[in-house]
Structure 1
């Protein structure tokens, strides 16, 4: 396509502006009708309907997930993926702002398709359900959805204006101790107290926690502690959430969890089973070249992104699994003040506010401009891939 970058960006910005009312209506509709992990049927129908009307080739039930989809426009490479999240939080609605993520990804895909129509490459919108614990993008990555993609782009509303996301690796384990039931008065020596073993597990993990590296921690709850106070518990179970700064550190922490469980079982005369209970979320690997390009485009709207504060981590996301495969971005753009927090009723309200609409317009424009840069700029793609390969091949895990 023989057009200057500035002219192309102007065209993209116009296409975004022409669709802003539609994009905000989509965000508002999703906000008013929250759906939860792997059950986002109305959200998926709304988004795929708009993509079909724009001429995208839509495929549903992607990766065996009924509310996952891909929508493709164009042929051959390069390929840029725009990621759409649309699940909500039970009891809180869109308290993480996924309504805005979905609308921005949709708006950017539509604008790029229109501005780049006839240009080489492919625009791919990826509908990824169940970010809040189900790991839709992780499952899509395993299924090959991102094979052949050159970059994956999304933004996340938040309480900070940060150019990249300090997102940890995380997974959950179920630890079950098996003992032997007995009457605690009549024949206490016959019993093997599984609950006592589980309690000791918590004590051992508390001691372990004092020497874990930065960002590594274990948080546990008791999910089964016995059936009656006059029966020595023959089975007790806990669920433990593990987080770490890197995926390698998470693997190390999981190994320590298993070692602790085996030691407690040996000390208490119980047997133990340790099983992973969730999809593993890998840590996020930021593509600096692409994130800086997004930040430059966003600055046109008066929003200046900065690096995250050292030592501050903001949870985990399945975008980490995508970022292990290809260059990806996940900047935060604030829709409320830094004294707030997501996963709260106040943040849910902010996701439908006037400020959210302004952020949505700016982020959609920046995503779309970054996407066309990926399509047109071979040097940018090469720089992103060089950095990605260096990070994923290096000693840091």
Structure 2
């Protein structure tokens, strides 16, 4: 059987050979389009919908793609690193299977991905989260004095929620955007709408915050003579549960590639909400690898520009190698897979 060191050297060499292609893939036009699975198909992966599979049976390791290529969140780098890691991993595959997808199904033993960020953490916290849609209803009367302004009501909703933030539990946050504010300045708007993203350290706290936001919104609208309806917009996402067996393994490989990670941060970071949901179903990692300084927030234009920097290229190639090394270790050592699942089961028993 090939030694771990030789196998790691082979995956690193594959990433070196792929370096220019990976960097070019990361520079392709960004936006809502799905990552291209064509390079995987040409390497022998079987493509079904938005999933690429190589090999068969267990262990089965999933490399998680983002569902888009938005640069302001670094998803272009994630897509390229995941593709590169998959191509390198299958070069050392002797048994089991590798799946590249944005929606892992059952029968998977580990989910591996990462998030470009402003910190390098072996396990980047992701809060429990959901979105709320707030619609405010007024009345466009025949004269201004007969009207109730839905936009004025919505402004009061934002004011009330801003005041609420001062007493939110630690680790909770509420952020909103206006999605509809009327059609004409000549007509008193009778309808206005906003969406609010709500996050909290756990699902129980999230539920309490949603209740407080709902109460604040309804009361604020009523004070202006309008009515607010609050409804959940999309699912409730679980907070992320790290698998330290896997994240420790990844961190050691990342260090071997020249980037050293701290164990974990405390404040929740931007990331893909579905990762939290996956982490309560199967062993999952979600490290953060610093791309920019903390002043340049993830999601900003400056962060998008940073995905084209020399640092971004370093992060891309190092994370691709670390992901490939971790995946190949899991495929070569069923005992490591069992350790990851034992840790997963132990946390589930404790309710953590």
Superposition map of 1:1-397 within 5 A: 2-17=1-16, 19-21=17-19, 24-34=20-30, 36-37=31-32, 39-40=33-34, 43-44=35-36, 48-60=37-49, 69-85=50-66, 87-89=68-70, 94-116=71-93, 119-126=94-101, 128=102, 140=103, 145-182=104-141, 188=145, 191-226=147-182, 233-264=189-220, 270-278=226-234, 280-310=236-266, 312-318=267-273, 319-392=275-348, 394-395=350-351
Unmatched runs of 5 consecutive residues or more in structure 1: 61-68, 129-139
How far the C-alpha of 1:153 sits from its partner, in A, is 0.5
* CA distances 1:66-98 after superposition (whole Å, capped 9, x unpaired): xxx111111111110012237344xxxx23322
Give the conservation status (yes or no) of the 8 Å contact 1:281–1:317: no
How far the C-alpha of 1:266 sits from its partner, in A, is 5.9
How far the C-alpha of 1:213 sits from its partner, in A, is 0.8
Unmatched runs of 5 consecutive residues or more in structure 2: none
Give the conservation status (yes or no) of the 8 Å contact 1:183–1:231: no
Q: TM-score, normalised by structure 1?
A: 0.78
* CA distances 1:322-360 after superposition (whole Å, capped 9, x unpaired): 222211112122234455443344433432333333332
> What SS does structure 2 have at the residue aligned with 1:210?
helix
Give the conservation status (yes or no) of the 8 Å contact 1:281–1:316: no
Q: Distance in 1 between matches of 2:168 and 2:297?
A: 26
How many positions carry a matched residue from both structures?
351
* CA distances 1:243-293 after superposition (whole Å, capped 9, x unpaired): 222344323322322333444566666443223334544322211110100
Give the conservation status (yes or no) of the 8 Å contact 1:287–1:329: yes
Cα distance change, pair 276–331 in 1 and its aligned pair in 2 (3 A):
same
How far the C-alpha of 1:216 sits from its partner, in A, is 1.2
Q: Distance in 2 between matches of 1:317 and 1:5?
A: 31
How far the C-alpha of 1:149 sits from its partner, in A, is 0.6
* CA distances 1:223-244 after superposition (whole Å, capped 9, x unpaired): 4445667765433333222222
Give the conservation status (yes or no) of the 8 Å contact 1:224–1:236: yes
Aligned equivalent of 1:137: none
